[in-house]
Structure 1
Amino acid sequence: MLELDGLTVEYGDLTAVDDVSLAVAEGELCCLLGPSGSGKSTVLRAISGFETPAAGRVRIGGVDVTEAPPNERDCSLVFQDWALFPRQTVAENVAFGLKMDGVGAAEREARAREMLELVEMEGYGDAYPEQLSGGQKQRVALARSLVVDPDLLLLDEPLSNLDRRLRETMQLELNEIHDRVGTTMLYVTHDQDEAFTLGDRLGVMESGRLVQHDTPEAVYDDPADRFVESFLGTTNFVACTAAEPGPRPRLETPMGVGFEAAVEGPSLGAGDAVVASLRPERLSLSVAPAERTPDATVSDGGESAVAVPARVEETVYRGADVRIRLSAGETTLFVEPSVAEAPAVDAGDAVVVRFRPEDALYFDGTGDRCR
């Protein structure tokens, strides 16, 4: 339904969007995820016709709309600030696009009422925006965009102005609405939880570039580079040095232990910098000291694991889990066990952190994956 081919947007000497190519299938909900300033909202504006690309093409439903004005593109945009007309009623706001298209009054009223029912705002047609809560305004903005039956619906961080509980509720409702209407959607957000809740596929952007585009599971479990790994979730990055080249190169670490990395390592030479990513959910923590070989590899349930002696520096209760900060040799690690599984430890306690080399991800000095 949507194809971007080498899309580039420039503002003078600044390249805001850099050679982005992306395909979104019909009926798919794709999330563009990235930090502020990564270019994701500019991509939406270029698709909708509010920005003129310096290069590349935009196709919607197979039609090249790169040079077409916004009103000639079969897409609709939901803004971050809702952009409702304050002097129009809710029903008039929803029906505005239909009125601009020359649809008769009776049909406009019927279709607006149908959309308000879809977003659970029936009974509010005669209200004015100032009488609505933030969540209700967002529903009206969504109904206004859907009522014109666009081939493509663009959403620019539409839930960012809502409080956390309402935002989570609206995420679920938006998913249900998408399932019912089947409209192709491209959703921009900087919130990774929101992207994982909503997206059939995720596109991760950095500095105007589309770094990775895949399913949520693939992006999280198999990140393209260190930026994607750092942006999604939380992790421990441990700076290491390759002591020996070849398959499963041995890494020297600041944790006071060495281990064999689970990578095919012909491209790594002795002395090369390697960063190991150890996600907290893949680390286990125990109080009892463990016997270990000089390279810290021990048998853990029949599998090879790395045992790292550490000391508790701080514990922070966070409701569902406990964040435990540890000093391990010359570096800092943290684990986040659930409250039910967290060991009873205090600052100063000696512990052992275990992980399998296969559960770590490895990145070279440029940030690319070592595989």
Structure 2
Amino acid sequence: MEGNAGKRIKCKAAVAYGPGQPMSVEDIYVDPPKAGEIRVKIVGSGICRSDLHILDTNIANDFTFPLIMGHEGSGVVESVGTGVTAFSPGDHIIPLWIPNCQKCDLCMNRKTNFCQTGTQETMNVMPDGTTRFWTLDGKPIYKSIGCAAFSEYTVMPIESVIAIDKSVDLEKVCLIGCCVVTGYGNVVNVAKVDRDSQVAVFGLGAIGLAAIMAAKECGARRIIGVDINEDKFPIAAKFGATECVNPQKLPDGVATVEQLFQSSYGGLDYTFECVGNVRAIKSAFESLNRWGVCVVVGLPPRGTDVPINPWLLLTGQKLTGSFYGGYKPREGIKYLMDKYMSGQLDLDLFVTNKLKLQDINRGFDLMRKGETIRTVIVFDK
């Protein structure tokens, strides 16, 4: 694609035309970047459960179709728009699905990791309200969560991109952009798990496993993985789980997971719900001891409520949650990139499948069946 700076590019993308439908891998047009934007050639993009939720749940109502999903990406800057000096063609980057302009009131406030440049409206379009993606017959295509990493090329505002070292493997570090920063950060940054504590992680997908990895690093003495898919128990042990529990196969006389944890463990210090299931959130919260902290990490369907006993709040248990592991996006990505480059963060265990873009629907099916930890879509370089 050399010599295409300032020109519209024709490339392949996986386009979702509506919930419940398979994606269509087809040729599209990608406009050149405007002022304050960059165009990126994507190299790797993980399939996140949040992408699956857009296809399979009512979260789809938050988006305009046709849609290009993918927010756990990595790539190389192809061209830059007018006035862009912080990035140059050839730079390696990770997209930020929460912008981080580092200038607005929210970015300057240590109590939040949101940014005023990121709104509900700009989840589908660029900050100026327009799109950079088009069908070959001239109809607009929109993007999800600001990134559109299931396209060979995407356009991002500079507030939503961080430059990374050019020596790293882009097919691996894409995972830092979502599952790793989310799972890891909620343990060390939000809950602040301490040594010798008892922890349970509900949901053993990539985010849950990143949480287990972080809990082990924090020195938790007991780390319990909770999932109905027992095929995930061996991989959870590799990440640091000391034991695993299937909620559908409890000991005789034990009706619920929270009852098991209360009676056998005296209540847990920290729990993490990494699925987006309201029943699991309730279980995770009610499994705590009097000073315990439950962190909601998964993405529940819109309009769902969690029925909890408010007396537990009065007696000291805490219920909280966050996006991006509570990190300011640039800070979180930089911290974990440094850990990866120093050999302290092993990403290989997360990647169970690598697929080409044309096989993306198979990747989603693997996630639905629970047969993958993380599938990475890899693009031709």
Whose radius of gyration is greater, 1 or 2? 1
* RCO comparison, higher one (Cα < 8 Å, 6+): 2
Structure with the higher helix share, 1 or 2: 2
Question: So what's the TM-score if we normalise by structure 1?
Answer: 0.29
Q: State the TM-score, normalized to the length of structure 2.
A: 0.28
Whose strand proportion is higher, 1 or 2? 1
